[in-house]
Structure 1
């Protein structure tokens, strides 16, 4: 695996990469309303690798979508790299995302007609920023794709496509990179390579990564794991191992099931 250029200094950043202050999000109205996030507050330091986990319906996907500017919370504040996410228009929110946020998705989201190099440069072009061919090629070399610049996505393996997605997220030097189940479509070996690369971007490149996952092994690559349940923070685990994460998730799932059983007791017939 290619290592990042240690001579290249990370961009100047604030000490706090991401902050959520009393963030809430409700879908629906009346009796059908579902509280996806319930007064969530958290702070993540720059240069950290955080995994977010929780049972199905816990709010982890909504947390990522709101924190990444893909959805708007109903209340609360979100700050990325010291700047508050806001703006009354979708254009303002789009500009904020392009300047401060990187994305890595499960299905890569690469354009099939663009080469590896062109896909990597796309965020810069969309933001109207100057594209530096040397910078783009350096990032692709750092993720192990220096000899694949002219290849199209369908000429790459799944793991290589996800490496392109990582390079695309890195090239704009974002304040935070959000990764949504980035290994869900990969085989075990490719998944481990991608997770190791994400950890390397934090340790060597100074990036801040927030990983949403259901996989305890994937979460074990992070510095710490945040747990959600019923839209609320339900604890954290530092220096996680796969076994410790799995045990915590089992206990959390049991508690959630017990609470729901109390809310909806079985009826005798």
Structure 2
């Protein structure tokens, strides 16, 4: 079963002579319970890939399927509800609200949706990400790594079908970044969570099951069970370094 499928996705910004093709016929499927890294040089289409996968951008042609739901058939309100309940987001900048406690930040998406938190699931999530003893703290009282763990818990609280991570270790030191990557891999291996991560870091990509490479908006190959060395070597041929 595929958690997310992109079929011949093409995304063009602008018109006429100023048109820019950000994605050009990308087809890929993410199996349920898989960890996929997306890599490529600057301008290769990574951000557009993530935005189309999340329903934040609509493809010019092609389609994106979340499970058996065609995102192109949804209106803006339906897309908002889908992103709130079926997709989790983790960003480089954490995006926590400083006036809220950890537990209030985690449950905010549910409150915005008018839903109550499943207490048993909430407890499992905070235990899994290692912040059960920080629930009453505010973000300013936490380290960067702890804040990212809160952001991951917030992304998981609605039991999303896919967790999308955009450079999740970009603001962290090497040791803390690896702890967060280990956590993401553990969520895949123990909870069956599907994770799609955009990264520029070969070490980060080595935690995934599969690394996809983009170049000039096109899929330029993939690596199964990638190592940091193999990813770096492949990126060299794509012009990253």
TM-score normalized by the length of structure 1: 0.87
Superposed, 1:41-120 pairs within 5 Å as 41-87=27-73, 89-120=75-106
Q: Distance in 2 between matches of 1:56 and 1:154?
A: 32
CA RMSD of aligned residues (A): 1.4
User: Alpha-carbon deviation of 1:73?
Assistant: 1.4
Stretches of structure 2 lacking an aligned partner (at least 5 in a row): none
Stretches of structure 1 lacking an aligned partner (at least 5 in a row): 1-14, 258-269
Q: Distance in 1 between matches of 2:192 and 2:74?
A: 32
1:204 counterpart SS class: helix
**Partner residue in 2 for 1:141:** 127
Q: Distance in 1 between matches of 2:54 and 2:113?
A: 16
**Partner residue in 1 for 2:153:** 167
Q: Distance in 2 between matches of 1:58 and 1:122?
A: 34
User: Alpha-carbon deviation of 1:82?
Assistant: 2.2
User: Alpha-carbon deviation of 1:64?
Assistant: 0.2
2:44 counterpart SS class: coil
1:147 counterpart SS class: helix
2:239 counterpart SS class: helix
Q: Distance in 2 between matches of 1:31 and 1:68?
A: 28
Superposed, 1:255-266 pairs within 5 Å as none
Q: Distance in 2 between matches of 1:243 and 1:169?
A: 30
**Partner residue in 2 for 1:7:** none
2:112 pairs, out of 101, 112, 126, with 126
Q: Distance in 2 between matches of 1:248 and 1:48?
A: 21
CA deviations 1:154-211 (Å, max 9, x no partner) are 0000000000011111111111100000000001111000000000000001000000
